[in-house]
């Protein structure tokens, strides 16, 4: 009788290992599921953040376009427009002129804190305004992810076309993918630029 009882107890000890292994397996599955969910949440949050930043940049571009329309409606030419905040009717950022505040680019969009909007009076567009003539546009060097988001919002395509641009120039004439664009993102020499046409030629 004693021998049989000892055998039963041994069997019970061996049997107890099964539930333990099952619990360990379930915990492992739950841990992996949580990690996957957390990664998905991180990607989703990053994408949403990029959308907000891109929308901010485009909103600032739209404000400057409206300001430029007001200045031009006052009888000024592209070459007359200024951007210093001087109290004149020709300035985009004066109450008497464009009537909008000078924008500060969102830091999350910038590759360098020194980056800012540049105004190009010799911009050449593609299929907008007079071919080859100088237009007024604004450009801003930004991060690739934000640039892709801008194009995705505007054109449902995050492939950023290549054109010629710098802090002092913008030429879209050789960029077939940017034909007809008045706003968007392009890349040049490994740098990504947001641009907005303010006054067409």
86-118 burial string, b = 16+ CB within 10 Å, else e?
eeebbbbbbeebbebebbebbebbbeeeebebb
Q: What is the pLDDT of residues 100-134, one digit of tens each?
A: 999 999 999 999 999 999 999 999 999 998 888 99
Specify the pTM.
0.77
Place of tokens 């009788």: 1
pLDDT digits (tens, 9 = 90+) for 59-89: 999 999 999 999 999 999 999 999 999 999 9
Examine the pLDDT at 172 and tell me if it is beyond 90: yes
Mean per-residue pLDDT over the chain, rounded: 87
Using CA atoms, how far apart are residues 55 and 154, in angstroms rounded to an integer? 10
**CA–CA separation, 7 vs 53, rounded Å?**
70
Domain ranges within the chain, ordered by starting residue: 44-199
């Amino acid at each position: 009788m004693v021998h049989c009882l000892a055998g039963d107890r041994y069997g019970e000890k061996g049997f107890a290992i099964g539930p333990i292994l099952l619990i360990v397996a379930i915990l492992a599955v739950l841990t992996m599921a949580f990690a996957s969910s957390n990664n998905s949440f991180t990607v989703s949050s990053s994408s949403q953040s990029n959308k907000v930043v891109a929308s901010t940049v485009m909103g600032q571009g739209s404000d400057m376009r409206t300001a430029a329309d007001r200045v031009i409606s006052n009888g000024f030419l592209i070459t007359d427009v200024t951007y210093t905040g001087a109290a004149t009717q020709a300035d985009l950022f004066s109450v008497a002129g464009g009537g909008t505040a000078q924008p500060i680019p969102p830091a999350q969009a910038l590759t360098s804190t020194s980056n800012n909007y540049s105004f190009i009076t010799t911009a050449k567009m593609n299929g907008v305004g007079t071919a080859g003539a100088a237009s007024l546009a604004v450009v801003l060097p930004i991060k690739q992810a934000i640039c892709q988001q801008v194009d995705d919002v505007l054109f449902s395509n995050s492939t950023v076309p290549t054109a010629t641009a710098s802090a002092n120039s913008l030429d879209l004439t050789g960029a077939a993918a940017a034909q007809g664009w008045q706003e968007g993102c392009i890349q040049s020499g490994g740098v990504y630029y947001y641009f907005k046409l303010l006054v067409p030629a």
